Amino acid sequence: MLNFARNLATSVVLIYFMQKSFRTFISFLIVLVLSGFRNVAPIVKPIPKSNLVIDVLDYKAAAPSFESSSFMIPFTGNNYVGFKEALAFKESQGKYHSINTLGYLGKYQFGKSTLAFFGQFNTQCFMQDAALQEKIFYHNTARNKWILRRDIKRYVGSKMNDIVITESGILAAAHLAGAGNVKKYLRSWGDLNFSDAYGTNIEDYLTKFSGFDLAEVTARKKVQFQ
């Protein structure tokens, strides 16, 4: 009975190695013959640790740092900061290096004529200077607030085409269409609704950017810009 079990085990091992490869089968057969068909167990050598390939992903190194400036989330309150960041997101998704198909530049999509008014003629320098873009936006908003000061006083709180007029809506619309076109809209009680080349109009901005508190923006006729 014991011999039968041994022979059966040997046969199973033979079949296994025949399936693996012919060379392995021949090697095993030679060992088997030399051993006189005694118990033969396949020798399995442990693999040295130095030969093991371990694929390790360093998740800590791969994970982005949320302290990085590229992941900063702007404050979106109802003050000036919230206003400018909301407007910037609409204009360029808040990207300082953005240029649209019409050539408008930067986070707030200024035209070259506006930049020239503020003494900026090198558009490459402008695009690379985030602080400069922020400064020009503030001063441009302050200037529009002065140009539209009488209209702000007269029309804020009024309702035109089912839109409640607010100071922040007026200044956002001035950024889109220019202060002159906003005056025409307000003084025509909504009949002259300017649209830009993409179809965005004054009423879109009056609606989207209403209700921000821009008290910290001081109306200025003359911009002292360095």
Q: What percent of the chain has pLDDT over 90?
A: 64
Would you state the structure tokens that stand for residue 169, as one six-digit string?
A: 């809506």
CA distances from 101 to 104, 111, 201, 202 (A): 8, 12, 18, 20
Per-residue model confidence as pLDDT tens digits over 58-117: 322 232 332 333 334 355 689 999 999 999 999 999 999 999 999 999 999 999 999 999
Q: What is the pTM of this model?
A: 0.67
Kindly list the domain boundaries of the chain, sorted by start residue: 2-46, 74-208
Q: Work out whether strand 159-160 and strand 163-164 pair parallel, antiparallel, or are unpaired.
A: antiparallel
The mean pLDDT value for 188-196 works out to 97
End-to-end alpha carbon distance in the chain: 104
Per-residue model confidence as pLDDT tens digits over 9-61: 555 555 554 555 555 556 555 555 555 555 544 444 444 443 333 332 332 22
